[in-house]
Every structure is written in C-alpha cells, then in structure tokens.
A and B are shown apart, each in its own frame.
Chain A
Amino acid sequence: MLEPRHSFDTPTHPQPRAPKGFSHINRYWDKSQGVFAAKILPGEFYVSLAGEMIVTVLGSCIAACVRDRVKGVGGMNHFMLPIQRENMGNGPAVFSESARYGNWAMEYLINEVLKNGGDKRNLEIKIFGGGRVLENMQQIDVGQKNIDFVRHFIANESLYLAAEDVGGVFPRKVLYFPDTGSVKVRKLKTVRNDVVFERERNYAKSINTRPAQGDIELF
C-alpha cells in the first residue's frame, strides 16, 4: 500500500519563536522545503536555534554561514564592504574602514552564535557569493574584494573554512540549514527582475554614505 504523499502546504509544527533581537527578520513557512525559514536581506544576519532554514539571495555580497558543528547552533549574515571608504589615512588595507565594516559583520554573527551556546573551537564557516554581478561600480570587482576580505578574516581568526562557493558571474540563492550544516546553492542564470541588484545597490549606497558607529555611554 502506498504511503500518503506528504504535503508541505501547511506547517507540520508551530513556528519557533525568533531569537531575542531578531523579530524584524522575515520568517515564514517554506512550502518547497517543508520547513520554517528566515529570509535575510543585505546588511542583516540571523541565528537559528530551532531547525529553521536561513535563506538569502546574493549578487556581489557575501554570506558567511557560521555554525557550532557539535551543538548545531548557527547563523548566516549577508554583507559587502563599503567601497567608497577604502582608506584610513596611511594605514594598511586590513585596517581600512572598509575592512573594519566587514570585521563587524562577521563579529556580530559569531558573537550571536557563541551567545546561543556555540563554542569558538567548534565553529565551521561556509562562504557564498561575491559574484561579479554589480556593474557600473567604478570598474572595481566588488565581489572579489568581498571574497578576499572574508578569506583573510577566517584565516586571521584561525577559523575552519568548511566549504565555499564564491565568484563567477551569476547571483546565487542560498538555503542554509544550521542544525545540520547542509547548504543548497542555486545559481540564478536568469534573473526575472532586478530586485537582487536593486537591493544590493541600495545597500551599497547606504553603507557608503552612513558611517558605521555604535553608541558610547559613560557611567
């Protein structure tokens, strides 16, 4: 007798609560994968503790997937380096404002994984994106700069790079499952609309004009 065909049209279990500080992230039931998903946009990150899938679409941006491979806690970010604030006086490129922005994007994600039970010694990193996708950007290969940065960061922090799918000329859709560490990547050879590019352009504009700076409070 044939088993009844499983349908993913409706959730099979209640949606897990968003971790503290992530209520702004778009979370939904993904019919195609049969899981709850969190979709992150340029400049955002998300950490899942409850078997959710994390989804993003990348052009020249990078997504780093960071996970404690023992505890199954992990998350994903989506960022690019600001290209108009390359230099910081006469300092080396690794201390440029541009690289500092990338460091913070990585640190925020890593800290969130650690705060949720991860151990730095058990972290594995997977990186995606960095395509030569954004055109008209001063002839600079933004994607390659992002790839170079994230590879340098991982080596500098002595982190374990478990997998990468970077570069090339196509945008990517990335589905990440932090509990198992598995990733599904689809190259978008035909993009039906330019939403991906538009989002990245707007993000690039915002990080190029708005200085990254946190609050200071003296007690």
Chain B
Amino acid sequence: MTKILAVDDSASMRQMVSFTLQGAGYEVVEACDGQEALNKAKQSQVDLVLSDVNMPVMDGIALIKQLRTLPNYKFTPILMLTTESAADKKTEGKAAGATGWIVKPFNPDQLLNTIKKVLG
C-alpha cells in the first residue's frame, strides 16, 4: 500500500487530509511538525510527503532540505500544502527540492489527482 506522510501542526488539517487520503486507499502516517516528520520518515520509508509550510519546531522548508540530504528521499515526491501563496515562498520551496505547491483550501479530488500524477 502506498504510504503518505501528512505533516501539519493543525489537528483539524491532519484529520481532513488523512480522511481524504485514506478514503482513496492510501496508508497515512501523521506528524505535527517537521522534526516529527523527519523522525518518522527515517523510521519507515514513505512514498510521498505532503507537508504544511508554517509549523513550529521545524518548518516545511527545513523539512524538505533535511529530507533531500537522505539518500532514500532524494527523489521522493514532496508536495507542500499550505496557506502560503507568496511567490518568494514558492521559490524557496522549489529551491529546497519540493515537487509541487498546493495552496489551501484544497479540493479533495484535485488533491488526489495531483498525488496520483506525482506518484507516476
């Protein structure tokens, strides 16, 4: 089963994302900040990371940078799901190694289509 790491400091957001992904047959691992996500990604390989940007402890951009230093996450799709729509933030995310940028609010069908697309 395809495993997705869903990272958001908002419990409501994590629940909504998990509900959408699980409904489509994905296995979901949740984390509430970048550091917890990094720990979980190291413990068990995931197929895709879906992460918020603004989070305490470690933000989403720092998480991408850390993940990209790990050999088994060099090419794993990392999608940012965020309220941030500023061009400079997107550029920062892209430079860090993000695969794509989704601005909240998300439409469940479009989110699932995007995930399908980047998973190949």
Instruction: List residues 149-190 of chain A with CB under 8 A from any CB of chain B.
Output: 153, 156-158
CB contacts (< 8 Å) of A87 on chain B: these are none
- Asked if residues B100 and A95 are in contact (CB atoms below 8 Å), the reply is no
Count of A-B contacts with CB under 8 A? Answer: 84
Known: A94-B15, A103-B16, A219-B99. A213 touches B83 (CB 8 A): no
> Hey, which chain A residues are within 8 Å of B104, CB to CB?
104, 107-108, 214
B105 in contact (CB, < 8 A):
yes
Report the Cα distance A216→B102, complex, angstroms.
Answer: 4
- Residue from A95, A103, A158, A219 within 8 A of B101 (CB atoms): A219
**Contact B13–A216 (Cβ < 8 Å):** no
CA distance A95 to B13 in the complex (A): 10
Interface residues of B in 94-120 (CB under 8 A from A): 94, 98-108, 110, 114, 117-118
Q: From residue A28, how far is it (CB to closest CB) to chain B in Å?
A: 27
A95 touches B16 (CB 8 A): yes
- CB-CB under 8 A from A120, the residues of chain B are 9, 56
Determine how close the nearest CB of chain B comes to the CB of A57; give it in whole angstroms. Answer: 25
Would you call A91 an interface residue if the criterion is a C-beta within 8 Å of the partner chain's C-beta atoms?
Answer: yes
Smallest CB-CB separation from A119: which chain B residue? B56
Q: Complex: how many Å from CA A108 to CA B105?
A: 10
Contact A218–B114 (Cβ < 8 Å): yes
CB of B118 to closest CB in A, whole Å: 7
Q: A91-B23, A114-B54, A219-B98 are in contact. Are A213 and B12 (CB under 8 A)?
A: no
Cross-chain contact of A219 among B83, B94, B108, B117 (Cβ < 8 A): B94
Q: Which single member of A101, A115, A217 contacts B54 (CB below 8 Å)?
A: A115
Residues of B within 8 A of A119 (CB): 56
Contacts of A21 in B (CB 8 A): 86
With a CB–CB cut-off of 8 A, which chain B residues contact A103? 10, 12-13, 16
Given contacts A91-B23, A103-B13, contact A214 B106 (CB under 8 A): yes
CB–CB B105/A216 < 8 A? no
- Is A16 located at the chain interface by the 8 A CB criterion? no
Q: Which of B's residues lie within 8 Å of A, judged by CB? A: 9-13, 15-16, 19-20, 23, 54, 56, 83, 85-86, 90, 94, 98-108, 110, 114, 117-118
By Cβ-Cβ distance, the 10 closest A-B pairs, closest first, are A214-B103, A218-B100, A212-B105, A104-B105, A213-B107, A219-B94, A95-B19, A103-B12, A217-B101, A215-B103
13 A-B pairs within 8 Å (CB atoms) are namely A95-B16, A103-B12, A104-B104, A115-B54, A212-B107, A214-B106, A216-B102, A216-B110, A216-B114, A217-B100, A217-B102, A218-B100, A219-B99
